[in-house]
Amino acid sequence: MSILVTGGAGYIGSHMVLALADAGERVVVLDNLSTGFAWAVDPRATLVEGDTGDDTLVAWLLREHAVQAIIHFAGSIVVPESVADPLGYYLNNTVKSRALIAAAVEAGVPHFIFSSTAAVYGNPAVTPVPEDADLSPMSPYGSSKLMTEIMLADTARAHPLRYVALRYFNVAGADPAGRSGQSTPRATHLIKVACEAALGKRPYMEVFGTDYPTSDGTCIRDYIHVSDLAEAHMAALEHLTRGGASTVLNCGYSQGYSVLQVIEAVKRVSGVDFEVRLSARRPGDPASIVAASDRIRADLGWVPHHADLDRIVAHALEWERKLESLKGRN
């Protein structure tokens, strides 16, 4: 099967490309390389540098490669940045997704998998949060993703397009074989930042907010290994190709850890007691959000293999060390 992966040169996208290539699929990557890297794309895939908002390019790609499924990762992902630049996020995450969905309909692409987010829930009233919980995003990032979910649902009712939207919780770790990982400079992911501090790439790290209504006052999140997330997409693709109905599913482990617990895990695994500074809250951060993951396990048969915080941290540390040898590559 020929599959288009948008944002396939980025963190999650590059792991998806590995999973698809390992399964023998034909993969075409569309990425503008604004945050991704050409070297991160597995050589078994075809990389095209360009933007998902380029209607002419996307139409040509879908036709030229006879694309049968689209897995859409391309977008902006930093919550505080979205609060400061909401229109930029609505352009990149919503307007360009609308263009991609329209191109899929025009080309007759039957299957679409969308990279959504737990941020659509905002600060949920229940935990773990199920898929049918109230949707109340606290940031333009969450709103921009929710809008795309709505567009997909409406499009699927009007056209022969079926989709799976996966609401990610906090993605971390790296390919266990060391082939890819989180490589973006100045990344804001907690485990990435803590690993950088442990390896001396940062003089210290900050904790944003210690007065949340949680056990230790810091935010609680559900951390999922990036390779397990890629496998969830593979299960979603199989679901669609077997004729499965469109659906929206959480993707997490149903286990929450506070910011301070994660930092302690990084210190424990690395053996380094790095400096941690306590700072004020950031805008747009909910206190606690943990996935109810029973539906994805039941509907897709998804079984995670790396649901262990120390293992996630160990893989992230291994990749962070390897990045030193990759400096200077584009």
pLDDT of residue 188: 86
Domain match, 165 and 283 both: no
Helix, strand or coil, per DSSP, at residue 328: coil
The reply to whether 182 falls in a domain is no
Domain match, 62 and 13 both: yes
- Sheet of 69-72: strand order equals 46-49, 26-31, 2-6, 69-72, 111-117, 162-168, 247-251
The reply to whether 199 falls in a domain is yes
Compute the C-alpha angle 138/77/9, nearest 5°: 165
pLDDT of residue 243: 98
Domain match, 59 and 95 both: yes
E strands present in 95-212: 111-117, 162-168, 170-172, 205-208
- For the chain, the straight-line distance linking the first and the last C-alpha, in angstroms and rounded, comes to 29
Domain match, 135 and 201 both: no
Residues with catalytic roles? 141
Domain match, 147 and 34 both: yes
β-strand pairing of 256-258 with 220-225: antiparallel
Contact 81, 211 (CB under 8 A): no
- Give the end of a domain, one of 204, 234, 251: 251
CATH assignment of the domain containing 310: 3.90.25.10
The reply to whether 180 falls in a domain is no
Domain match, 201 and 279 both: yes
Domain match, 211 and 235 both: no
Contact 39, 67 (CB under 8 A): no
pLDDT of residue 283: 85
Look up the domain containing 32 and give its range.
Answer: 2-172+223-251
The model's pLDDT over 251-295, given as tens digits with 9 standing for 90+, comes to 999 999 999 999 999 999 999 999 999 999 988 888 999 999 999
The reply to whether 198 falls in a domain is yes
The reply to whether 177 falls in a domain is no
What pTM did the predictor assign?
0.95
Domain match, 163 and 207 both: no
Domain match, 32 and 145 both: yes
Helices 96-107, 140-158: inter-axial angle, 10-degree rounding: 20
pLDDT of residue 185: 79
pLDDT of residue 204: 97
The reply to whether 208 falls in a domain is yes
pLDDT of residue 329: 65
Contact 11, 182 (CB under 8 A): yes
Domain match, 103 and 67 both: yes
Characterize 46-77 residue by residue with b for buried, 16 or more Cβ atoms within 10 angstroms of its Cβ, and e for exposed.
bbbebbbbbeebbeebbeebebbbbbbbbbbb
The reply to whether 205 falls in a domain is yes
Domain match, 92 and 197 both: no
The reply to whether 318 falls in a domain is yes
Below-50 pLDDT ranges, the chain: none
Instruction: Count how many domains the chain has.
Output: 2
CATH assignment of the domain containing 123: 3.40.50.720
Contact 196, 202 (CB under 8 A): yes
How far apart (Å, rounded) are the C-alpha atoms in residues 163 and 248?
8
Domain match, 31 and 132 both: yes
